[in-house]
Amino acid sequence: MEEITNISSLKQNLELNKYIQLAVEYGLILLKALVVLIIGLWLVKRLVKTVERIMIRSSVDETLRPFLLTIIDIVLKVALFIAVVGILGIQTTSFVAVLGAAGLAVGLALQGSLSNLAGGVIILLLKPFKVGEVIDALGFAGTVKEIQIFHTILHTFDNRRIVIPNGQLANSSLTNITRNPIRRLDLEVSVAYGSDIDFVKQTITEIIKSDERFHNEPDPLVRLLRMADSAIVFIIRVWVDTDKYWPAYFDLLENLYKEFYRRGISIPFPQLDVHIQQK
């Protein structure tokens, strides 16, 4: 009886030692995989930073830079993940096949995201706009801050952050406000009936010529546009550098009002004559 007890105890000890050995063995493997993962993530981060510095020194397009860095970061992390899986003893070939099948399933489920990815590629290749340019698209106007894989970030003039999916941007009409170096400023000005037309045109022309921001070529245009109900309306068309458009616009308005007031040119307002007939 005592021998049976000893044999049973010996078997239990052997089993326990076996489990301890397996725990130590797999624990070391897990520890190794964890160390590789931590060091790998650190190296990926440093490598992406290094690539970014190289891109900056090489004058890589600022629009293309964030997109490429994101792609590099994703590829390196996927490679690191596969390496860690290999350390854990999982067959990487079968794992890659499973990963590919899973990627296909996820791709079918995320068709909208894939269209945004394709839109981002189209934007980077065709370059309808670049980082730093001002665009008007999908009801939003602002400065392009980033073009990322799936979306583009705008900052509006009142400093709101707008995130627009690339798929929508690539498939819709947009206005690139600052792509061309010069822009035409159009302004309508009303004066009262009875005003001297030639004197009004001379006054407007002098104001335009006194401001160096307005180009002489193409020639500025000052013409009578129409005769409205309460005023005669002049159209002003002048060309100005795109980055000076709004300061020039507001200054022109102020200078027109001041000079009209100084020269006695009347600016009308709507009036209604009421005739009362007594019976």
Average model confidence (pLDDT) for the chain?
83
Give 185-222 pLDDT, tens digit per residue: 999 999 999 999 999 999 999 999 999 999 998 899 99
Using DSSP, state whether 175 is helix, strand or coil. Answer: strand
Instruction: Please report, for the chain, the start and end positions of each structural domain, with discontinuous segments joined by +.
Output: 2-89, 122-176, 182-263
Strand 182-191 with 232-241, pairing = antiparallel
CA atoms in the 13 A half-sphere facing the CB of 87: 19
- CATH number assigned to the domain covering 122-176: 2.30.30.60
What would the pLDDT profile of 63-112 be if each residue is shown by its tens digit? 677 777 887 888 888 888 878 877 777 766 665 666 666 566 555 544 56
How do residues 14-53 score in pLDDT, each as one tens digit? 666 666 776 777 777 788 888 888 888 888 888 888 888 8
- pLDDT of 109: 47
CATH code, 2-89: 1.10.287
CA distance 199 to 180: 34
Which CATH code, of 3.40.50.720, 3.40.50.150, 3.30.2130.10, 3.30.70.100, is assigned to 182-263? Answer: 3.30.70.100
The pTM (predicted TM-score) of the whole model is 0.61
